[in-house]
Chains A and B, each alone.
Chain A
Amino acid sequence: MGAAVREEMGSSSDSRAFRSSARGPIRDFLSSPWLTIRVQIALGVIFILAALPKIVDPPSFAHMIYNYRLVPGALLNPIALVLPWLELLCGLGLVLGIWKGTCRTIVGLMLVAFIIAIAINLARGNAIDCGCFDVSAAGKSRSERLADMRLVIARDLGMLLMVWQLWFARRAGVETHDPS
């Protein structure tokens, strides 16, 4: 038992040593302020652009949320009203660098929720317009919508990767500035 713990501790300190020694060009690039600031602003702008049509036309957005068949009727309108504003505020926070840690976390959580919601409907075969950047019904065919949903998941995963980069850069920064 003691030997197992010692071995685990040993392997843990080895991996920490490996991580700290593996400061290759990729890690440096991923944690560079040059990339981080651009990713942060791009993510913020994307969320601002996504929020505006929903803020302008909440009934259409409520309709879009309804189409997902995931939200109880009583929560439909409150979500349709508040979510776009939360997107806008987080987007502004990322662009302006205000409360960026919290905004990054909320954006990440929203993206995870969107991906899960679309994946569930894709699994159900329920072809819907995602309502991500445009809340008007596009009049597409079922197959077009299903194809779009797959693209939306890929796009959201890409944005989640951007959130991960921001988180990674922050962690790298913390480690760099860690006196220990």
Chain B
Amino acid sequence: MKKHMLEAVTLTLIACLCAAAANALAGREKKLTVVTSPLVAPARPQAGPTRVETTTAETTTAAETTTAEPAPLPAPPVTKTIAEQPVATPTPNPSTAPPRTNPPAPPAPKVAPAKPLTRRFDPHPDKAYVEISGDDVAALHTSGALFLDARRTAAFSDGHIAGARSFSVWESDIDEKVKQLFAEKGEPEEQLKPIVIYCSGGDCEDSHMLADKLWGLQFNNIYVYKDGYPDWQARGGRVQR
């Protein structure tokens, strides 16, 4: 019995050593971080602007003003005024930070929207993500929103939504990519812009995991394309390989 226990412990130790060596030698796409997992999203700082009202996923016709409480970091106090007509750009409603006289100009869309968005894509800091379907995704894509592909890199290489960036939650460099994204778009105005995340649709949860991660970094306007890449292909959306 003691001999068997000793052998079992030895086998487990050898397995651990082999696993560590193989993981150290593995390429970026095949590597796993031992300490953290995709499930461990960074803790969301308490600094986020706490909105009383969220109007996402609604077609709004009435004017409203939402004032957020001052936030120490990283988002400044945000005062928002929402126009009467449906918003025609994917960027959140014009935000005016108190010190500024002019709201930050939204980035010029690559292609002019074919039709106005049927929904408003307001920031929703009280929830990590909002699930949207193909029509909204197409509208956001047309207007130049940032798209993140949460599938594995190999699947991304086989084909992805045009302009999307690879952010596989199961690969070891995900935290690095998220940090890089935060470095690029860490400005409060940037964090309020819509980000669309997708994976393979169906019961795929990778996009939700990535949304949780980004929400933890104060990205407040994240949308999950619930039907994912297969739906995009079926709709004949623009893809890149």
Contacts and interface: CB of A to CB of B under 8 A. Distances in A.
Interface of A: 55-60, 62-63, 66, 73-74, 76-78, 80-86, 88-90, 93, 99, 101-103, 105-106, 127, 137
14 contacts: A55-B22, A57-B30, A59-B30, A74-B37, A80-B32, A81-B34, A82-B15, A82-B19, A85-B19, A85-B22, A88-B18, A90-B11, A101-B4, A101-B7
B30 A85 contact: no
Contacts of A58: 23, 26, 30-32
Given A62-B32, A82-B12, 19 more contacts: A55-B22, A58-B30, A59-B168, A59-B171, A63-B206, A66-B38, A77-B36, A80-B32, A81-B19, A85-B14, A85-B15, A88-B15, A88-B18, A89-B18, A99-B11, A102-B4, A106-B8, A106-B11, A137-B200
Contacts of A78: 34
B40 interface: yes
Contact of B170 (A62, A74, A103): A62
A82 B16 contact: yes
Contacts of A106: 8, 11
A56 B30 contact: yes
Contact of A89 (B14, B32, B206): B14
A148 to B, nearest CB: 15
A88 B15 CA distance: 9
Interface in B177-230: 200, 203, 206
Which 3 A/B pairs are nearest by Cβ-Cβ distance?
A: A73-B39, A85-B15, A59-B170
A77 B32 contact: yes
Given A58-B30, A59-B30, A59-B170, A102 B22 contact: no
A5 B8 CA distance: 39
Interface residues of B, number: 34
Contacts of A80: 32
B11 A77 contact: no
B152 interface: yes
A76 B170 CA distance: 11
Given A74-B37, A77-B32, A80-B32, A60 B11 contact: no
Given A59-B168, A77-B37, A81-B19, A102 B32 contact: no
A101 B16 CA distance: 21
A78 B76 CA distance: 40
Contacts of B58: none
Contacts of A99: 7, 11
Contacts of A56: 30
Contacts of A63: 170, 206
